[in-house]
């Protein structure tokens, strides 16, 4: 009974998501909640995982409903909703490897990795990647965030920029935007330390801005202490690393303390 209901709801959901305008998406969200209430009663799903007669079908249905849920979350740009969806979905992937590969699975997997990157949960990221099969990794949707992470780690921010141009799916853009601002912050920090002054055009290129207006907006919003001096930007107002004081007296005292204690023990 519940199964039939979920099937029906899922059909509606697919239609709504296919249309993709904001009113439909809001409706889709409600629909997903209804489906979730239904699938909670499925004992074939984690954590119970009983092998009921309809287990295979139930699992497949639940997985695809939740996949849609994840997509909808990205579309309405709600990261928390996305995370909650994934929390429900991932246990199904891991504990029911037998369900048939759904067309959306790779996309959701890739989006999940992007999400972890944005959240800067790198250990989780690597855990998830370790769990993927070679087939999973071979897919361009999954491969994209994996490569992206490597480049970010080595600091090749320029490649990141070029990746921005080659998104495997438009849905990735939401996460890319967040990532880009993180990257910009990093680059800006590096610039402050590395240069005293820098040409505005160079700075704009380094920060991966296409237009001067966007660049100025960025400075206005996040880097208020940067000064325009003609065509150059001056960072000298910044304190570049304080003089590091070696607390010699304290260290000497501590070492002597250890020595006496050591002598006592021996």
Partner 1 sequence: MATTMATNSLPPAPNASAVSLLSLLSPENKPKLIHAALVKLLSVVDSLWFEVSSSLPQLEEIAEDANHDAKTRAVACAYFNVVADKNPYIETLVCKAIEIYTKGKGGDDDDDGLDVDGMDEDEDDGMTEKVVSVVEKMFERCYVDRQWTHALGIALEARNIDKVVEIYTRCDDLDEKLAALKYGLSACTTVVTNKKFRNAALKVIAEQVKGLPPSHMDYASRCMCDHLLGNSEDVWKLIHALLKQGGDSTLMALQLCFDLVDTGDQHFVAAVAKGIEGIAGEMVGDLKDGYDKCMRIMLGGFAGELELAFLYKESDSDPLIIKNLKKSLEEKSSRNSMLHSMSIHTHAFLNAGTTNDTFLRDNLDFLKKASNWAKFSAIAGLGCIHQGHVGEAMELLDPYLPAEGATIAPESGYSEGGALMALGLIHAKPNCPYEKRLSTTGYLRQQLKNYSSNETIAHGAATGIGLAGLGCRDSAIFNELKDVLYTDSAVAGEAAGLAMGMVMLGGAGNGDDSVTEMLAYAKDTTHEKIIRGLSLGIALMHYGLEDGADGIIEQLSRDRDPVLRYGGMYTIALAYVGTGSNKAIKKLLAVAISDVSNEVRMGAIISLAFVLFKDSKRVPELVKLLLVSFNPHVRYASCMAVGIAMAGTADPKVLTMLEGMMEDLTDFVRQGAMLATSMVLMQSSDTKRAKAFRTKITGLVAEKHQSPLTKMGAILSQGIMEAGGRNVTLSMGSRNGFTKPTSVVGIMMFMQHWFWHPCTTFLGLAFQPTLMAGLNKDLNFVKKFTVVCNSKPSVFAYPARLEEKKEEEKKRVTTVTLSTTAKAKAKEEKKKKEEEGEGDTMEVEGEKKEEEGGGEKKEGDEGVEGDKKNEKKGPEPKTFELVNPSRMTKAQPKVCSAKPGQRYSQLLKGEIRGIIMLTDSSPAEEDEEVEVVKAPSVEEDEAPMPEPFIWRPGGAAPAATEEGGEAKEEAEEAEEAEEKMDEAKE
Check residue 139 and report its DSSP letter.
S
- The long-range contacts involving 84-88, CB below 8 angstroms and separated by at least 24 positions, are 86/112, 86/115, 88/36
From the list 31-39, 67-75, 140-148, 230-238, the region that binds partner 1 by CB under 8 A is 31-39
CA-nearest of 57, 17, 44 to 171 is 17
List, as one string, the DSSP characters of 196-242: SEEEHHHHHHHTT-SSHHHHHHHHHHH-TT-EEETTEEE-TTS--SP
d(CA 221, CA 223): 6
- Least Å distance, CB 264 to partner 1, is 5
Among 16, 68, 70, 88, binds partner 1 (CB under 8 A): 88
From the list 29-37, 113-121, 141-149, 245-253, the region that binds partner 1 by CB under 8 A is 29-37
Among 80, 130, 224, 245, binds partner 1 (CB under 8 A): 80
25 binds partner 1 (CB under 8 A): no
Residue ranges in 49-68 that form contacts with partner 1 under rule CB under 8 A = 49-50, 52
Among 91, 124, 151, 234, binds partner 1 (CB under 8 A): 91
Q: Which residues bind partner 1 (CB under 8 A)?
A: 2, 33, 36-37, 40-41, 43, 45-50, 52, 80-81, 83-84, 87-88, 91-92, 95, 261, 263-265
């Amino acid at each position: 009974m519940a199964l039939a209901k979920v099937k029906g709801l899922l059909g509606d959901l697919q239609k709504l998501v296919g249309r993709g305008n904001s009113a439909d998406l809001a409706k889709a969200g409600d629909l997903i909640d209804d489906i979730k209430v239904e699938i909670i009663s499925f004992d074939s799903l984690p954590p119970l995982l009983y092998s009921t007669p309809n287990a295979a079908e139930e699992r497949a249905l639940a997985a695809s409903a939740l996949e849609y849920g994840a997509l909808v979350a990205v579309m309405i740009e709600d990261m928390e909703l996305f995370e909650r969806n994934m929390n429900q979905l991932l246990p199904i992937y891991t504990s029911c490897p037998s369900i048939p590969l759904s067309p959306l699975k790779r996309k959701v997997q890739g989006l999940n990795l992007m999400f972890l990157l944005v959240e800067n949960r790198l250990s989780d990221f690597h855990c998830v990647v370790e769990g993927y099969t070679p087939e999973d990794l071979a897919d361009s949707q999954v491969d994209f965030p994996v490569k992206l992470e490597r480049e970010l780690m080595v600091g090749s921010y320029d490649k990141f920029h070029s990746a921005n141009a080659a998104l495997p799916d438009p849905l990735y853009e939401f996460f890319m935007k967040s990532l880009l601002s993180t990257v910009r912050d990093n680059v800006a920090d590096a610039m402050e330390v590395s240069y005293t002054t820098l040409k505005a055009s160079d700075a704009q290129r380094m920060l991966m801005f296409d237009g001067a207006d966007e660049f100025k907006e960025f400075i206005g919003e996040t880097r208020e202490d940067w000064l325009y001096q003609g065509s150059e930007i001056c960072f000298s107002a910044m304190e570049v690393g304080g003089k590091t004081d070696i607390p010699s007296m304290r260290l000497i005292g501590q070492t002597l303390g250890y020595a006496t204690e050591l002598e006592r023990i021996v």
